[in-house]
Amino acid sequence: MLRLKTLSKSYNSAEGNIEVLNRLNLSVSPGESIAILGDSGSGKSTLLHIIAGLERPTSGLVEFGTCNIWAATESERAKVRREKMAVIFQQFNLIPSLTIKDNIEFHSKIIDSHDEEFTNQTIKLLKLEDILKKYPEQTSGGQQQRTAIARAVVAKPVLILADEPTGNLDEKNTIGVIKILNNLVEKNKTTLLVATHSQAFATALNTQLILKNGKLKRNVL
């Protein structure tokens, strides 16, 4: 279970205090998938970073299972992130010195959850078979994005946080990503939070929320 309680985030700027998140409350159950829609700059990425323990909120609680993320130490947050979460960043965050195949398997092997058959199925569904021996710099942005998604999926995390995971993908590959993520949610009871501009992606998930003026609202589609 993921719970946000009166979560707020604000920044100081030359124009004064800017409130991005305003006392958000949200509960997400295992096996639930949620799309977070909103304009650029509305705070979608900030919200995911706070949940992942990467950016500190101004106030409020993030509870993930038995862990109070922002009452925990940095090493405790890192342990939860490594063993229970997978984050798909807009920047992909692939390791340049590793091949595409090694990047895909990196997280699952670190936490000793590697499943060769499941990994090969994911690689095939994401159409990455032909670039497994290449390095990230030898591949396109779309291929790197699919690699980052594969890395997250094959680790079979409890929670996936995805920030615009299909931003560089065409419609056909987007449909493939939706299928893979929904399959993981259904079979493994993975919790999925996706920040996206894609209406097609959003409607494929259980719940659609919109982040506007620091607040989350339901049923916007």
Show me where the domains of the chain are located. Answer: 32-56+84-218
φ and ψ at residue 104, rounded to 5 degrees: -60, -40
- Judge whether residue 76 has pLDDT over 80: yes
Write down the mean pLDDT value for the chain.
93
User: What is the enclosing helix (H) or strand (E) of 19?
Assistant: strand 16-28
CATH of domain 32-56+84-218: 3.40.50.300
pLDDT at 171: 83
Q: What is the pLDDT of residue 14?
A: 79
Distances (CA, A) of 79 to 67, 72, 84, 190: 11, 10, 8, 18
Which pLDDT does position 173 carry in this prediction? 85
Say whether 5 sits in a helix, a strand or coil: strand
* Residue 220, pLDDT above cutoff 60: no
- pLDDT digit string (tens) for 103-113? 999 999 999 99
Nearest to 139 by CA among 168, 171, 174, 105: 168
Where does 71-216 have alpha helices with state H?
74-84, 100-110, 116-125, 141-154, 171-188, 199-203
